[in-house]
């Protein structure tokens, strides 16, 4: 049987982009999957239908990671909907807010840190409380934590770099219980957040060693690998076409 048969997973921000591709990868490996979204109800339902077509169970939960109670509560809701346990948490939901330092408002700072950092912390905390040996926490960071290629990234790089510390500390905290925590750093990936035909796309592609954008599925395959890996924890994985090379 497939590597994740009988396992349950929650992917935050699973209605589009890297999250949606991850939901499908995990389902193809045999997992039943819950996903969160905020606005994309129809897109979320399309992902649920695609999972059902693979013969796995999926459930879409509206849960805003910017809201502390919803961010933590999604874990409980996912576990309940999928039969009581949770084996894999993928912290994928994130905002990509770039801009000159002087243009970033206090509201920007609060919102970005709420979604990209606080929500990830709270979901990981809630998942750790539920997980048993074999549990997997996989977080989506960014290539901007390894190399900031130009101006405009102060807030975003701050938020994503915090997740490296979280991942390493979770690995230490949860290792004795047989639960792993790892982080994946995507490079430029063709999604709604960062379309491969957007105004800054050519420059981003040129900064990679491979000279091109990646696909959501190219990130999802590494996330799926980490969901099954047994002796990998506290590690950072660049899936960035060589952006950091
Ligand atoms: P998209 O913007 O294409 O998709 C974002 C997904 O997250 C959607 O499903 C969206 O749901 C959901 N989402 C957004 N805000 C929230 C929230 N507050 N609570 C819950 N869900 C939310 O993003 P990508 O797929 O490009 O990015 C996924 C992750 O990868 C992010 O963490 C991003 O920072 C990171 N990343 C992306 C890179 C890229 O080049 N694309 C590069 C490096 C990192 P809805 O449909 O409801 O809006």
For residue 237, report the distance from its CA to the centre of ligand 1, in Å.
18
Looking from the CA of residue 143, the nearest atom of ligand 1 is: 43
For residue 231, report the distance from its CA to the centre of ligand 1, in Å.
28
What value does the mean pLDDT take over residues 166-191?
Answer: 98
pLDDT category at 16 given cuts 50, 70, 90 is: very high
- Of the chain, the percentage scoring pLDDT greater than 70 comes to 100
Tens of pLDDT, residues 128-144:
999 999 999 999 999 99
Q: Does the C-beta of 13 come closer than 6 Å to ligand 1?
A: yes
Q: Does the C-beta of 43 come closer than 6 Å to ligand 1?
A: yes
Q: Does the C-beta of 65 come closer than 6 Å to ligand 1?
A: yes
Residue nearest to atom 33 of ligand 1 (CA): 94
* Domains of the chain and CATH, by start: 8-239 (3.40.50.720)
The single residue of 156, 200, 225, 231 carrying the catalytic annotation is 156
Looking from the CA of residue 93, the nearest atom of ligand 1 is: 7
Mean of the per-residue pLDDT values for the chain? Answer: 98
156 is catalytic: yes
Query: Which of 14, 73, 92, 94 is the pocket-test mutation for ligand 1 (most atoms within 8 Å of CB)?
Result: 94
What value does the mean pLDDT take over residues 53-75?
Answer: 98
pLDDT at 1: 76
Q: Which long-range contacts (CB under 8 A, 24 or more apart) does 158-162 make?
A: 158/113, 159/94, 159/112, 159/113, 159/116, 159/117, 160/94, 160/116, 162/116, 162/117
Does pLDDT of 210 surpass 90? yes
Q: Does the C-beta of 156 come closer than 6 Å to ligand 1?
A: no
Looking from the CA of residue 44, the nearest atom of ligand 1 is: 46
Cβ atoms of 190 and 21 closer than 8 Å: no
Under DSSP, is residue 238 helix (H, G, I), strand (E, B) or coil? strand
169 alpha carbon, distance to own chain's centre: 18
Q: Does the C-beta of 98 come closer than 6 Å to ligand 1?
A: no
Q: Does the C-beta of 40 come closer than 6 Å to ligand 1?
A: yes
Tens of pLDDT, residues 214-245:
999 999 999 999 999 999 999 999 999 999 99
pLDDT at 65: 98
- CA-to-CA distance for 4 and 238, rounded, in angstroms? 23
pLDDT at 53: 98
What value does the mean pLDDT take over residues 37-46?
Answer: 98
What value does the mean pLDDT take over residues 155-184?
Answer: 98
C-alpha distance from residue 38 to each of 14, 18, 41, 88, 191 (Å): 10, 15, 7, 21, 17
């Amino acid at each position: 049987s497939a590597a994740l048969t009988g396992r349950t997973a929650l992917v935050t921000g699973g209605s589009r982009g890297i999250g949606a591709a991850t939901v499908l990868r995990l389902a193809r490996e045999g997992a039943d999957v819950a996903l969160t979204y905020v606005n994309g109800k129809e897109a979320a339902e399309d992902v649920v239908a695609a999972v059902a077509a693979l013969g796995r169970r999926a459930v879409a939960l509206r849960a805003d990671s910017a809201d502390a109670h919803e961010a933590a509560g999604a874990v409980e809701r996912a576990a309940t909907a999928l039969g009581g346990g949770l084996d894999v948490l993928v912290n994928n939901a994130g905002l990509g807010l770039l801009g000159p330092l002087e243009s970033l408002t206090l509201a920007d700072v609060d919102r970005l840190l709420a979604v990209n950092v606080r929500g990830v912390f709270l979901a990981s905390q809630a998942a750790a409380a539920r997980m048993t040996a074999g549990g997997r926490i996989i977080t989506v960071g960014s290539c901007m934590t390894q190399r900031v290629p130009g101006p405009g990234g102060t807030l975003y790089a701050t938020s994503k770099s915090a997740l490296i510390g979280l991942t390493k500390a979770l690995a230490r905290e949860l290792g004795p219980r047989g639960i792993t925590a790892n982080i994946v750093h995507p490079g430029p990936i063709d999604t709604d957040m960062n379309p491969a035909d957007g105004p800054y796309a050519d420059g981003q592609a040129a900064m990679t060693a491979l000279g091109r954008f990646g696909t959501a599925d190219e990130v999802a395959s590494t996330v799926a690998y980490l969901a099954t890996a047994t002796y990998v924890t506290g590690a950072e994985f660049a899936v960035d076409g060589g952006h950091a090379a």
